[in-house]
Amino acid sequence: MAKKIVVIPGDGIGEEITNAAVLVLKKISDKFQLDLTFESHAAGGTAYDLYGTPLPEKTILAAKAADAVLFGAVGGAVWDNVDPALRPEKAILGLRKSLGLYANLRPIKVMDCLVEYSPLKKEIVSGIDIMIVRELIGGIYFGDKCESEMKDGFERAWDLENYSVPEVERIVKLAMETAQKRNNKVTSVDKANVLATSRLWRRTATKVAASYPDVKLQDMYVDNCAMQLAIHPTEFDVIVTGNLFGDILSDEAAVLGGSIGLMPSASIGECTSLYEPIHGSAPDIAGRGIANPIGTILSAAMLLRHSFAAEAAALAIEKAVEKALLDGYRTMDLYRDGFKKANTEEMTQAIFDRI
């Protein structure tokens, strides 16, 4: 039966990079007889300009009805003065809420041929293979807020962090199941020495882990985790954590790999899953055909693996990306003397030819 992928290019380089990934997915669909179909929908600043809203109802309905969503990126300085409730970024936040995407999965791997791009020494980053599982629709980003208030002559503001047992249970379960497909090791990250939400998190994680006796659970404070990621990153396998800590740690971990343009992500939840590169819309290079398409192409591989259980097809894409890099193709963000300079189209073609 045909599987429908809703493609949401968004703004900036969104169109260029999602086009690249769709091209690769079409070849994979033919080769592995996956019968994939594609439908494009608007979101972000582009949608705001066209329809007066960054997330049209039509896009939400299409995403809910789809088998998977491939998302580009949204945002750009041209929309800086738009009413905050209608900013392009509201599109992705709205989609996460509408689709109940409670988990964000970010794999961090450093390919041997790219170790020299890491800010850390080769000996430290060589062999990194981490999966960060970040809670995405709870915690302090979604608690009660008071933008600011005048009291006793001062302006003050607060944000309220809250987590419930079921919210922690479902994300830790997902981390445990992810670990079972990897190396049976999970590090749960919190700040239980200071925060009540973290103590609830730790208690709940311990309880959930009891049902997975094959998986080893380790608790770690977030400050220590931030440090360990920089000195012993290869010690980690699956990391599970809340929204705020996950946001920070996943960006820290992503730089270990060298370029933001290479990193994919998956957001999983109650309805359709959504796949997107971790970088933004890169307005500074948009429209020039030079963006690195690899983060989006690897997101497409995650899509095949998680939404369609098409492991062989996902691997074929990952291998083709690695081969293209090994053969010396580099987009501008990674280009150095002695390599083959490639624009978006040439990089995509190099990957396409190696599938």
Task: Residue 233: name its binding partner from ligand ATP, Mg ion, none (Cβ under 5 to 8 Å by kind).
Answer: none
Q: Smallest distance from the beta carbon of 262 to ligand ATP, in angstroms?
A: 8
Our CB check for ligand ATP shows the closer of 15 and 333 to be 333
Please give the radius of gyration of the chain, using alpha carbons only, rounded to the nearest integer: 20
Active site residue 35: no
Inter-residue contact 295 to 254 (CB < 8 Å): no
Active site residue 251: yes
Q: Consult the annotation and say whether 280 binds a ligand.
A: yes
Residue 25's alpha-carbon distances to 28, 33, 55, 60, 288, in angstroms, are 5, 11, 25, 22, 23
* Secondary structure (DSSP) of 25-76: HHHHHHHTT--EEEEE---SHHHHHHHSSSS-HHHHHHHHHSSEEEEEE---
Look at residue 167 and give its three-state secondary structure: helix
Pair of tokens at residue 284:
């500074």
Q: Smallest distance from the beta carbon of 111 to Mg ion, in angstroms?
A: 23
Q: Exposed, middle or buried, 325 (CB in 10 Å: 0-12/13-18/19+)?
A: buried
Inter-residue contact 220 to 188 (CB < 8 Å): yes
Binding window for Mg ion (CB under 5 A); candidates: 44-52, 136-144, 261-269, 274-282 = 274-282
Our CB check for ligand ATP shows the closer of 13 and 298 to be 13
d(CA 199, CA 193): 8
Task: Residue 333: name its binding partner from Mg ion, ligand ATP, none (Cβ under 5 to 8 Å by kind).
Answer: ligand ATP
Q: Consult the annotation and say whether 287 binds a ligand.
A: yes
Q: Is 153 left (phi over 0), alpha (psi -120 to 50) or beta?
A: left
Count of residues touching Mg ion (by CB under 5 A): 1
Our CB check for ligand ATP shows the closer of 246 and 261 to be 261
Strands 129-135 and 103-109: antiparallel
| Residue nearest to Mg ion as judged by C-beta position | 280
Q: Of 51, 67, 141, 185, which is the active-site residue?
A: 141
Q: Smallest distance from the beta carbon of 205 to ligand ATP, in angstroms?
A: 29
Q: Of 223, 327, 340, 353, which is the active-site residue?
A: 223
Our CB check for ligand ATP shows the closer of 10 and 200 to be 10
Q: Of 11, 90, 190, 191, which is the active-site residue?
A: 191
Q: Consult the annotation and say whether 290 binds a ligand.
A: yes
Q: Consult the annotation and say whether 286 binds a ligand.
A: yes
Q: Consult the annotation and say whether 281 binds a ligand.
A: yes
Q: Could you list the residues that contact ligand ATP (CB under 6 A)?
A: 13, 73, 75, 260-261, 279-282, 284-285, 291-292, 295, 333
Active site residue 223: yes
d(CA 253, CA 246): 10
Pair of tokens at residue 223:
């400050």
Residues annotated in a binding site: 96, 106, 134, 223, 247, 251, 280-292
Contacting positions for Mg ion (CB under 5 A): 280
Positions marked catalytic: 141, 191, 223, 247, 251
Residues annotated in a binding site for substrate: 96, 106, 134, 223
